[in-house]
Structure 1
């Protein structure tokens, strides 16, 4: 994702958070409660840190692990300044999680002229929506200059769905997007496979499951 896309997706989430805060204020007004935090939550914070480390070592780290660690670190604080820092960190992780969800759903910063949001879909999706009783879908053909950008966003969406579910069926969706992106560059599926095989011959594949420990400043070599 391009840096401007990341910034745009962040602003989208922050706008949604601000709208929710305004709705809460309209409903409840300004509220003041005791913090309720304290050292009694220190053990849970330590446990959450251990869970993060263990999940990371197993390759099973999730947003739930990360947010839980930040949440309990906040609960364990009594100093108001430190508590504020921890709450900001907790909120930042929650926002980052929402950004990840938006990428997974294809809700990129791409906006229409009327301020709405759009996503690229497969050719038969409007037909499927209509057959399911959803009526005529509002669709348009992507313009030449935006099609590749929408495909890149779709790549993040499909990759995110696979990461979240682990379902092998999601790889077929990912492959479809890869083929479409290759076509944008004038590359056929057969040529893409040729290039893949060539790189595999030069650098190998991933069959040996090798994990390289990288010294600081050393390129990963891909």
Structure 2
């Protein structure tokens, strides 16, 4: 996962946490359905016309995805469309960040002694201390980064990095490494681990 995507997803996660702190967990009816089918078709035509004339803009693409989501009443289909809508919004933010004068400096959470390592190499790192409200989001972005590095390279050392981030996230929730291990062991006793290499065959979408 590239750094620009990690930054956007961390910003989105921070905003979601801020929403939860302000309003709590919200649950409303979808309010979607066939009544929006006309708007979906209209936005699809508008996007196609703009593309054909070379005048397509992000608003055309996002509007098309948004109204396609509103036209869905089946929860599974609605979810797929909302994921596509969110992905386009994320792409739009990344495009904004790439524009001269609007891009925020790239940054990421690093281990505490990394600045020392950089100084010893003759460079001068620019650092800041994360605010408490953004720390969890930065850790989650770091977890995605480390997991991606492991899945890409498959190096065992990357698992140690994943574990370090997991321990830091556990501490955010008031858990020690021993607490986390006890929870892992309890789940393993109840549900088993993965040593048996059991693969569950999931039903097709039309069978679910």
TM-score of the aligned structures, taking structure 1 as reference length: 0.50
Kindly indicate whether residue 194 of structure 2 is the aligned counterpart of residue 213 of structure 1: no
CA distance in 1, matches of 2:11, 2:135: 18
Following TM superposition, the consecutive aligned residue runs of length 4 or more in structure 1 with deviations greater than 3 angstroms are 1-9, 11-19
Of stretches 3-12 and 205-214 in structure 1, the one that deviates more from structure 2 is 3-12
Compared with structure 1, are the counterparts of its residues 143 and 8 closer, same or farther at alpha carbon in structure 2 (3 Å cutoff)? Answer: farther
Higher relative contact order (CA 8 A, sep 6+): 2
CA distance in 2, matches of 1:162, 1:133: 29
Deviation at 1:10, TM superposition (A): 2.4
Structure 1 gap ranges (5+): 20-112
Deviation at 1:215, TM superposition (A): 1.2
RMSD: 2.9
1:187 to 154, 175, 180: 175
Structure 2 gap ranges (5+): 1-8, 14-86
1:123 to 98, 105, 112: 112
* Deviation sequence 1:170-203 (CA, Å, 0-9, x none): 0000000000000000000000000000000000
The secondary structure found in structure 2 opposite 1:133 is coil
Matched residue count: 124
CA distance in 2, matches of 1:116, 1:201: 46
CA distance in 1, matches of 2:115, 2:98: 31
1:167 alignment partner in structure 2: 155
CA distance in 1, matches of 2:88, 2:115: 30
1:11 to 92, 95, 101: 92
TM-score of the aligned structures, taking structure 2 as reference length: 0.53
CA distance in 1, matches of 2:193, 2:154: 21
